[in-house]
Amino acid sequence: MQMTPMSYVTPSNAFEDPRCRIDYQARYYPTANGQAAPPIDATGQNSRIVLEFLAAYYHLNREYQRLLEIRKHPDSPQRREAERECLQAVEKVLIVRDRLEDVYAPLGVITDPVVSEGFTVDVSIKFGNVDAAGRRRTDLYTLTAYVPIPMPEGAKLDDLPMKIEGPGFNGEY
């Protein structure tokens, strides 16, 4: 059964784990941080993110294997056309992978594939919401900034339509 590349994985709740598919081939599924993937039914946010990235790299590995098979055939117009289509499929999977990176980058997710002979065998995944020991960070941080805003000439702070509050402000200007 041939899948269209864009149906592989999307950064959404509609994620489909390739391990559920009848045509799943375990040799193309990479590990995550040197360990087996989380279970298919994992519900934790970080585990779901790991599964989405592993699925993207799985599909990339499958397309790469398809490309290698096509390149074994003698050069012909049919082979060149098949190779072109395969390279387009690889590009589409890379676009999906890049979208995942864009979606999860604000959460502090950093991925780095480990490649051997053209295949991604492991994906190093780091999360901004866990410390170096893997413990979830629970501290809340308050950030403050000093932003000078020049007042219009002749204006008084009391005349401006704004409310000033915050630590260290005692009501005096």
What is the C-alpha to C-alpha distance for residues 116 and 1, in angstroms, rounded to an integer? 27
At 168 the pLDDT is 60
Q: How confident is the model at residue 152 (pLDDT cuts 50, 70, 90)?
A: confident
pLDDT band at 16 (very low <50, low <70, confident <90, very high): confident
pLDDT in tens, 42-101: 888 889 999 999 999 999 999 999 999 999 999 999 999 999 999 999 999 999 999 999
Query: Does residue 7 register a pLDDT over 50?
Result: no
Q: At 126, is the secondary structure helix, strand, or coil?
A: strand
What confidence score (pLDDT) does residue 43 get? 85
Angle formed by the axes of helices 45-71 and 77-104, nearest 10°: 170
- The answer to whether 56 and 11 are in contact (CB under 8 A) is no
Asked if residues 63 and 93 have their Cβ atoms less than 8 Å apart, the reply is yes
pLDDT above 60 for 133: no
Q: What percent of the chain has pLDDT over 70?
A: 74
Structure confidence at residue 164 (pLDDT): 63
pLDDT, position 154: 81
∠ Cα 94 95 96 (to 5°): 90
pLDDT bracket for residue 128 (50, 70, 90)? confident
Give the 3-state secondary structure of residue 121.
strand
pTM equals: 0.70
In the predicted structure, residue 10 carries a pLDDT above the cut 90: no
**Residue 103: both structure tokens together:** 């979606």
pLDDT at 41 over 80: yes
